[in-house]
Amino acid sequence: MEQRLIAGTDLRVSPLCLGTMLFGSPVQEKEAVKIVHLALEQGVNFIDTANMYEGYTRYVGSPGGVTEEILGKAMGGKREQAVLASKVGMKIGPGTGDEGLSREHIRRECERSLVRLATDWLDLYYMHKPDESTPIAESIETFAELIQAGKVRHWALSNFRAGQVREVLQVCDDGGWPRPVAHQPPYSLLNREIEAELLPLCRDENIAVVPYQILQGGLLSGKYGDPAAPPAGTRGSDKPEWIAMLRDEEALRELDALGARAKEVGLSLFDYAIRTTVNTPGITSIILGVRRVQQLEQAISALS
C-alpha cells in the first residue's frame, strides 16, 4: 500500500486509516484483533482511536476506554508497525473535570490512554473538539509538554472550524510551541462543507487532513437501496440515530445522484466514494470504520 508523509513529521501513513470506534460493540474483541492484524499485514498502518470510544454502548458521559483496551491487546507485539492516533476532550465521566482540554484533564487522559493501549507513546494526539472554557494556550502548552516528555510525537486537531484553526496557529507561533500537524474533520461526498474554507486553509498551512465519516456512517456503501427499510445487521437498523441522513430527503436524493454517477464511470458507489475522497487534493488519509474483516478487505481492494 502507498504511504503518504504527514508534512513536518517523519510519519508515513497509509491513505486508508483504520477507524476503531465500533471496537467493543458491535465489533467483539476476536473480530477486532483480526481486523487490526489484517490492516497491518496489508500496509494499513494508520490507526485511529479515542479515549471515549466504546462502540454502541457510548452515551454522553459514559466512561469510554473499551476500544483503546481492545486495541492495546490487538497490537501486542506489533506496536512499532502502526502510526497510532488517539484523542482527548469529549465527556468521559459524570464530573465537570471529565471533559475538555484543561491541563489536568489532558495529562490524566493521556496517561490512561497510554496504559490502555499498552504503549509508551502516541504518534498523534488530537484535541477531539474545541473547549470554550479553557484558554487555548493552556491546552497547546500541555500538548507541547507531552511532546517534550516523549509521550506524544505530534499533535493534531479535530472538529475545529477554520477560524479556530487560524487562532491555534497564531497562538503556537506566538508561544513558540509546535503547530498541529493534522486535522480530523467530518467529510464525505454527502458532506463537503470543508471544501469551502477548512481544506484550502489546511493545504496552505501544510496541515494533513484526515477526514472521518467518509461513508457517512455506511450510507455511501450502497447498501441502503431502500433507506426506509435498512438491511438487518447494519448501523441503519441497529443504530439509526447515528445516520441522521437516512431520514433527510435532500441527502437521499443526492445519494441517488451519486449512485448514478458511480455507475456511469463503471464503479460501485462504495469504490467511487472511497476513491474520490482519498484523491481529493489536501486529503492525506481517509478514516474508515469497519464492522468486519471483509469490509476492510473491500476498502483495500477499492484502493488498489
Ligand X SMILES: NC(=O)c1ccc[n+]([C@@H]2O[C@H](COP(=O)([O-])OP(=O)(O)OC[C@H]3O[C@@H](n4cnc5c(N)ncnc54)[C@H](OP(=O)(O)O)[C@@H]3O)[C@@H](O)[C@H]2O)c1
**Annotated catalytic sites, by residue?**
53
Non-local CB neighbours of 237 within 8 Å, separated by 6+ positions = 230, 231
Measured between alpha carbons, how far is residue 209 from residues 153, 249, 289 in Å?
17, 29, 17
Q: Shortest gap between Cβ of 291 and ligand X (angstroms)?
A: 4
Of 85 and 114, CB closest to ligand X: 85
Which of 175, 231 has the CB closer to ligand X?
231
Which of residues 47 and 114 has its CB atom nearest to ligand X in the complex? 47
At 52, list the grid cell: 471515549
Cβ(33)–Cβ(67) under 8 Å? no
Instruction: Select the residue whose beta carbon is closest to ligand X and give its number.
Output: 289
The DSSP bridge partners found for residue 126 are 87, 156
Of the two residues 155 and 212, which places its CB atom closer to ligand X in the complex?
212
Distances (CA, A) of 248 to 198, 223, 244: 25, 17, 7
Contacts of 53 (CB under 8 A, 6+ apart): 20, 21, 23, 24, 64, 66, 67, 68
Task: Using CB under 6 A, list all residues that contact ligand X.
Answer: 19-22, 48, 158-159, 184, 212-218, 221, 223, 234-235, 270, 287-291, 295, 298
Q: What are phi and psi of 186, to 5 degrees?
A: -75, 140
Q: Dihedral sign, CA of 264, 268, 270, 276?
A: negative
